[in-house]
């Protein structure tokens, strides 16, 4: 797994600034007041810092943005990074400033003068999230970066506050690595193996193989994988850190590669479908975080791992399959495969665990990208209460999410002439008809949300917290949802 940047915490030491060889970061509020660290740097550089702070460039910076003094005289460091940030900045504002710095950790590392900043732990978290490069598939791992030192007035307190953040960052990195991996590496078997390895963290992990799934009647899921050489699997991860209450459940779409099947996708951009296991990746990342921070909650995470390939054995458009629930499905388009996988995993999850709440994540529809772009995931729910809880958690973590409607009126679009339901409803409201389809496999009494993350799981240009590629979107929001609502 891509390792987190090492972060250490130290007392502030003004006299050490001149000889510091790492890049040095200081925070200056919009008013321009210099804290003791900034004052010392200003003195060492014979007033260069004050000039920078009085400049038009500094004035134009938004909170959390920075400018740099290169090769400052009087200092061993090759760069002083001046970040505009109020001393009292907290939460996401501080986190974002940290992410700005994460981009600037050089070979020599980064020394952050946090002094008496209100939320140094968030600054460190933001930086940690941003120091990520996926270079596992390069022949040379040359993206060498040094460590981060946070110099704070009360380093022990900051370090304690940072500990849980680090568990979250590890979950996010785990998700990003899974999503960034190519499909010849991350086969269903390799994916399952990486989840089984999380037993070391105290998670219970078990795998349903094809024979057992066939026994259970999961022909909707099995139909999707039947054209692939890789065996379909469901991996069940359990974290029972709570009491004897029923668990909360996360369910993920894990299509390790989506060619579309016999309804083959066009060649252009098909390579992006290595990320079609993004939902499963987020579920895995959250479970890792919960285990690492020993969450006092009962949570199960289930992922349906399949590969959607065209083949002599592949399912055909027009095939009718029977789901574990018993409902029959006419497969109009083999490229609408995610919902077929989820139908059986959702049903199995409810039958097995009777969860207090269930959230599934899936890179389900291109249509959600048309509607919401890459800024927000689509949220669909049968519960105003659960969707409000989730939206609150997502907002608190700065992860975009927007609720879209569901309703029985849409069901006529997925009525089948020969089966109980069909798997596509044409172009109108494509994300909603997908959600309606899933809703059919959710019991009335299960509070449920479906998160369509096709636009947010992986992006073509860098975000505040991640370089281009996998974002890890959702790990933070779901961890927060559990923390705020389901921990004793």
Cβ 337 to Mn ion shortest distance, Å: 5
Residue 196 Cβ vs ligand BES, minimum distance, rounded to whole Å: 25
Nearer to Mn ion, 17 or 303 (CB): 303
How far apart, in whole angstroms, are the C-alpha atoms of residue 361 and residue 471? Answer: 14
> What token pair was written down for 210?
């094809």
- Half-sphere exposure (Cβ direction) of 262: Cα atoms closer than 13 Å: 18
Nearer to ligand BES, 80 or 275 (CB): 275
Q: Contacts with ligand BES in 116-145 (CB under 6 A)? A: none
Residue 339 annotated in active site: yes
Contact between 177 and Mn ion per CB under 5 A: no
The residue nearest Mn ion at its CB is 335
Q: What is the per-residue burial (b if ≥16 Cβ within 10 Å, else e) of 368-390? A: bbebbebebbbbbbbbeebbebb
* The only residue of 119, 122, 181, 258 in contact with Mn ion, by rule CB under 5 A: 258
Q: What residues form DSSP beta bridges with 68?
A: 81
Q: Among 87, 265, 296, 443, which one carries the catalytic annotation?
A: 265
Q: Which of residues 301-340 bind Zn ion (CB under 5 A)?
A: 338
Between the two ends of the chain, the Cα-to-Cα distance in Å is 31
> What minimum distance in Å lies between the beta carbon of 368 and ligand BES?
8
Q: Which does 424 bind (CB under 5 to 8 A by kind): Mn ion, ligand BES, Zn ion, none?
A: ligand BES
Least Å from the CB of residue 345 to Mn ion? 16
Cβ neighbours for 143, distance < 8 A, ≥ 6 positions apart: 133, 135
Closest CA to 296 of 361, 251, 248, 346: 248
Under the binding rule (CB under 6 A), the answer on residue 338 touching ligand BES is yes
**What part of residues 429-458 is at the interface with ligand BES (CB under 6 A)?**
430, 454
Judged by beta carbon, residue 363 or residue 376, the one nearer ligand BES is 363
Q: Is 344 helix (H, G, I), strand (E, B) or coil?
A: helix
Contact pick of 177, 335, 399, 479 for Mn ion (by CB under 5 A): 335
Residues 6+ apart with CB under 8 A from 447: 356, 357, 358, 381, 382, 383, 385, 386
Looking at 166, 288, 339, 483, which residue is catalytic?
A: 339
Residue 160 CB contacts under 8 Å (≥ 6 apart), including other chains: none
Given the rule CB under 5 A, which residues bind Mn ion? 258, 335, 337
Given the rule CB under 6 A, which residues bind ligand BES? 258, 276, 333, 335-338, 363-367, 424, 430, 454
Active site residues: 265, 339
């Amino acid at each position: 797994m891509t390792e987190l940047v090492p972060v250490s915490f130290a007392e502030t030491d003004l006299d050490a600034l001149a000889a510091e060889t790492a890049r040095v970061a200081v925070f200056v509020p919009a008013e321009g007041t210099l804290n003791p660290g900034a004052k010392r740097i200003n003195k060492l550089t014979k007033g260069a810092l004050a000039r920078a702070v009085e400049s038009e460039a500094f004035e134009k910076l938004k909170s959390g943005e920075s400018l740099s003094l290169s090769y400052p005289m009087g200092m061993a460091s090759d760069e002083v990074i001046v970040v505009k940030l109020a001393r009292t900045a907290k939460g996401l504002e501080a986190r974002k400033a940290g992410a700005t710095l994460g981009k600037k950790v050089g070979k020599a590392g980064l020394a952050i003068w946090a002094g008496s900043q209100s939320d140094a732990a968030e600054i460190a978290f933001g930086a940690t999230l941003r120091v990520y490069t996926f270079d596992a598939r390069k022949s040379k791992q040359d993206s060498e970066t040094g460590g981060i030192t946070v110099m704070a007035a009360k380093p022990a307190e900051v370090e304690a506050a940072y500990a849980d953040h680090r568990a979250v960052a590890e979950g996010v990195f785990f998700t990003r690595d899974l999503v960034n991996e190519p499909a010849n590496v991350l086969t269903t078997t390799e994916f399952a193996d990486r989840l089984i390895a999380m037993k070391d963290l105290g998670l219970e992990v078990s795998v349903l193989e094809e024979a057992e799934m066939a026994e259970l009647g999961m022909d909707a899921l099995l139909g999707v994988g039947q054209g692939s050489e890789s065996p379909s699997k469901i991996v069940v991860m359990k974290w029972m850190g709570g009491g004897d209450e029923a668990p909360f459940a996360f369910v993920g779409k894990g299509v390790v590669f989506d060619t579309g099947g016999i309804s083959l996708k066009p060649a252009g951009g098909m390579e992006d479908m290595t990320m079609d296991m993004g939902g499963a990746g987020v579920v895995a990342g959250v479970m890792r975080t919960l285990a690492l921070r020993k969450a006092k909650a009962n949570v199960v995470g289930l992922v349906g791992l399949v590969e959607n390939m065209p083949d002599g054995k592949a399912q055909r458009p027009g095939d009718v399959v029977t789901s574990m629930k018993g409902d029959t499905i006419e497969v109009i388009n083999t490229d609408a495969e995610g919902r077929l996988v989820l139908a059986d995993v959702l049903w199995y999850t409810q039958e097995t665990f009777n969860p207090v709440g269930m959230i599934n994540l899936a890179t389900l529809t291109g249509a959600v990208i048309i509607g919401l772009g890459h800024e927000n995931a689509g949220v669909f729910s049968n519960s105003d209460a659960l969707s409000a809880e989730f939206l609150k958690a997502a907002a608190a973590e700065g992860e975009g999410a927007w609720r879209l409607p569901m309703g029985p009126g849409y069901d006529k679009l997925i009525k089948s002439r020969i089966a109980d339901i069909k798997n596509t409803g044409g172009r109108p409201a494509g994300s909603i008809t997908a959600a309606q389809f899933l809703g059919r496999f959710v019991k009335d009494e299960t509070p449920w949300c479906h998160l369509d993350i096709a636009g947010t799981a992986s992006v073509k240009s860098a975000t505040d917290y991640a370089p281009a590629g996998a974002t890890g979107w959702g790990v933070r929001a779901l961890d927060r949802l559990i923390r705020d609502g389901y921990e004793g």
